[in-house]
Chains A and B, each alone.
Chain A
Amino acid sequence: MNMLMLLLRNLARGPSTDAFPFGDTFTPERLRGRIRFDPELCTGCRMCAHVCAGDAIHFDETDEGLRFTLWHNTCTFCGLCEHYCQTKAIHLTDDWHLAHLQQDKYAMIEQGVVAPAACAECGGRMTAPVPALTAMAYRASNRRIEHLQTLCPDCRRKAGVKGGRS
């Protein structure tokens, strides 16, 4: 193929670039962009923080519960946190609009608080098991499993010793 012919053909085809920001641009479904955290699904296992190469994910205990914080400016968008999250509480969305002003850099975070539950036996504070996780652990649920889920680890051990009767 002659180079000149090729150039003429490319000229006839018109521009190959997207018209963004005046038109649409290509955003595939699987794009790894802004991270969303769903506290309802989080079990507090902290595997996401363990696998995070950039140390972008932090957990801290607050009065309201276990607080998850992700710094988008430290994140590499590798997706390991989502991959290793058993209940998929972390999700990388296809939103790539992450440009922001310097003054907003500390606001580029994703935060969520996993609300604590009270133990049905002693009333102590605990992180409640998430249904999505128990669905993975047990083939089916029953009244005993449901009851054990309302107990803190200490009371659960006591209940276990008593053969589940409480």
Chain B
Amino acid sequence: MTTYTIPVGPLHVALEEPMYFKVEVTGETIASVDINAGHVHRGVEYLTMQRNFYQNITLTERLCSLCSNSHPTTYCTALEAIAGIRIPERARYLRVIADEIKRVASNLFNVAIMAHIIGFDSLFMHVMETREVAQDVKETIFGNRMDLGANRIGGVRYDLDAKNQDYLSQQMERMKADLAEIVDIYRNNSMIALRTVGVGVLPHDKALEYAVVGPVARGSGVAYDVRSKAPYAAYDRLDVPVVTETGGDVRARALVRLREVQVAIDLIQQCLRDMPDGPIAIGGLPRIPAGEAIAKSEAPRGELIYYLRTDGSDKPERLKWRVPSYMNWDALHVMMEGNRISDIPLIVNSIDPCISCTER
């Protein structure tokens, strides 16, 4: 059998974002893959050191569109750890609501794109229509479809009055029925099974070896979720089930994401039920002393870690983050080998890669 090297990217019709894959194929089977990143490096880490603590709330939110809320939440948590700020109880719950509504939209977007890559565009449209409910919720409660602007240092800057709480809980109920149907389709539809079962397999031992995080890890049976392992915001007060699947293939990862949407809706409802009254942020402007802190959270793509060092001025001395996609990229080597060329886009999409986060 003849061996070829196929370059995919950095600019390619099948890729939404620039990434370079050098794929060695034998016939139609992938023998190995070489991944090369760095095509959209924007220098945001350096830029955060030129901006003050307030400006960085907005800057970190614009690192990535789909997990935009996880970045400022984790950044503010790190700042609050340095300044010794305890955020009000109500703010903790409001942070969970903002995080989970973003997870709903992000995960549905990824599984919708999966249907689109398969060529099942009617399902893509249907999932996107369901996701639109989450988009409308974000626009109504936060004022923007993608960037919520929910966080501030020492709490949150949005509140839910009785009218908005009713609206939110109604919309979540509305999504539940649609979602049950969608999960059923992804689990049982024969066309989806043909393209996704046994494709891009990442076995449990390899998942541990490559230290993958988020739905990629949980799709291979690794029950690691920051929300239950190291709870932040109000997650220690909520019942957070860790969703896992054992297949380790493209469908298993999609099912983890879909079931996590169901968990996210349940978490929002738990928050609406348990959220106490009270202030949503600390009063006054915080003083940030010199110090360093690490904060982490479970972004829709997995564990997000922030390292922040301050020197007593109003700007970070160093801000560094490790995004979930960074860990997950490497696992593509394992997932792709032995699969067909036609499955490359499907496998790449199954790790839900975020290039804007990874390359910042």
Contact residues of A with B, CB < 8 Å? 1, 3, 6-7, 10, 16, 26, 28-32, 50-54, 76-80, 83-84, 92
A83-B59 in contact given A3-B122, A53-B51 (Cβ < 8 Å): no
Contact residues of B with A, CB < 8 Å? 51-52, 54-59, 61-62, 122-123, 126, 129, 132, 136, 139-144, 147, 149, 152, 157, 181, 184-185, 189
Question: What is the minimal beta-carbon distance from A145 to any residue of chain B, in angstroms?
Answer: 22
Q: Are A51 and B142 in contact, with the CB atoms below 8 A?
A: no
Question: What is the minimal beta-carbon distance from A5 to any residue of chain B, in angstroms?
Answer: 9
Q: Enumerate 18 A-B pairs (CB-CB under 8 Å) in ascending A order.
A: A3-B185, A26-B136, A26-B139, A28-B139, A28-B140, A30-B142, A31-B143, A31-B144, A50-B52, A51-B52, A53-B54, A53-B55, A54-B58, A76-B147, A78-B57, A78-B58, A79-B157, A80-B149
Closest to A52 in B: B55
Q: Which 7 A-B pairs have the closest CB atoms?
A: A53-B58, A51-B54, A32-B143, A53-B55, A28-B140, A78-B58, A1-B181
Q: Are A16 and B132 in contact, with the CB atoms below 8 A?
A: yes
Q: Which residues of B contact A53 (CB under 8 A)?
A: 51, 54-59, 62
Question: What is the minimal beta-carbon distance from B131 to any residue of chain A, in angstroms?
Answer: 11
A30-B123 in contact given A76-B58, A78-B58 (Cβ < 8 Å): no
Q: Which residues of A contact B122 (CB under 8 A)?
A: 3, 7
Q: Are A50 and B189 in contact, with the CB atoms below 8 A?
A: no
Interchain CA distance A78-B55 in the complex, whole Å: 10
Q: Are A76 and B184 in contact, with the CB atoms below 8 A?
A: no
Q: Are A30 and B143 in contact, with the CB atoms below 8 A?
A: yes
Question: What is the minimal beta-carbon distance from A30 to any residue of chain B, in angstroms?
Answer: 4
Question: What is the minimal beta-carbon distance from B161 to any residue of chain A, in angstroms?
Answer: 11
Identify which of A1, A10, A77 contacts B184 (C-beta below 8 A): A1
Q: Which residues of B contact A30 (CB under 8 A)?
A: 140-143
Closest to B152 in A: A83
Given A30-B141, A31-B144, 9 other A-B contacts at CB below 8 A?
A7-B122, A28-B139, A31-B139, A51-B55, A53-B59, A76-B62, A77-B144, A78-B147, A79-B149
Closest to A94 in B: B143
